[in-house]
Amino acid sequence: MKKTVTRLADGRELIYYDSGAGADSGDSADGVVRDAVDRRPLGPVATSSEIRRDPLLGDSVAIASHRQSRTYHPPADECPLCPSRDGRLSEIPDSSYEVVVFENRFPSLAGDSGRCEVVCFTSDHDASFAGLGEERAALVLAAWTDRTADLARLPQVEQVFAFENRGEEIGVTLGHPHGQIYAYPFVTPRTELMLRSARTHRAETGRNLFDDVVARERAEGTRVVLEGEHWVAFVPYAAHWPYEVHLYPKRRVPDLRSLDDAARAEFPGVYLELLKRFDRIFGEAEPPTPYIAAWHQAPFRAEGRDDFALHLELFTVRRTSGKLKFLAGSESGMSVFINDVPPENAAGRLREVASK
């Protein structure tokens, strides 16, 4: 992998990641020169991000009024995530790229409040992650890992969250294949709950909670979707969403930086297969399945970090053809989920639609 760091016209950082043989560039990584200059007349980024603590729930809310003016559903020929070419200037100055990461111009978190980055998986506007191929998926994994390592060095960052939102049903405002990375200045509420459960389990049993969860799913087998030598994917026993899969490396590690070479090599094939199955759940007549893919990594300095297990959670808000799962009164008001699809049925369906 070759990494090239540059700056956009307004001072934001942009990083090109190139593999050994870039499908978009046609060159080897060593031969790629990323020296294009951002020629847009951009003023400095003005943000008003503020973190406020809820005294009742004890969680944090990011107040970011500047995001009201962010780019919203532009036509394909005005996409800011496509490369700059044919006289049109975008967020990526070069005329082609493989994987690019840059600071968000409309961040939810900024400065002492953290950092937000955009990850572009491909320069092909009409592609999807599932269609990238294993080499490109491996490069994205390398970029996620590299950004986790770099952001971990920032004193204000406590936790790094890499994720992809896909589909307008999720709230995506840019159709180009991309994800995001949030570097939080606090430990997120969901992670706090996991850490608390892990501490309680350790105190009561002397064992690791995540290890026991994975062992149970593999032993029962009814909710396992697919399993490789180094990864296992299953629908959790108490799945919150109609179709929800958790993907774990079999060797427990706290974050992406700690994955070994064998797990890294197997990940692209396993993950791409999961994404392809998600697109087949509801049949070919349905539009692509909207989903959220979320990496859960251990906070950098929290108690119990070594007991945490890196894993990816993949889920969709579509519950059946033409129908969405809305977070209504019980879910939004009291955080009690109601799932219409039994996890065993969801796992069975995901096994049925395996690639031939």
d(CA 306, CA 286): 42
Residue 130 DSSP symbol:
G
What backbone torsions phi and psi does residue 323 show, to the nearest 5 degrees? -130, 140
Question: Which of 167, 169, 185 shows the shortest CA–CA distance to 177?
Answer: 167
Contacts of 156 (CB under 8 A, 6+ apart): 111, 112, 113, 114, 185
C-beta of residue 176 within 8 angstroms of C-beta of residue 81: yes
Active site residues: 178
At 278, which amino acid appears? F
Cα Rg of the chain (Å, integer): 20
Helix (H, G, I), strand (E, B) or coil at 284: coil
Distance (Å, rounded) from C-alpha 356 to C-alpha 354? Answer: 6
In whole angstroms, give the CA distance from residue 296 to residue 278. Answer: 20
Q: Which residues of 276-337 form beta strands (DSSP E)?
A: 291-296, 311-316, 318-320, 323-324
Judge contact between 115 and 151, C-beta under 8 A. yes
2, β-bridge pairs: 18
| Long-range own/partner contacts, residues 261-264 (CB < 8 A, 24 or more apart) | 262/229, 262/230, 263/230, 263/231, 264/138, 264/141, 264/142
DSSP of 188-230: -HHHHHHHHHHHHHHHHHSS-HHHHHHHHHHHH-TTEEEE-SS
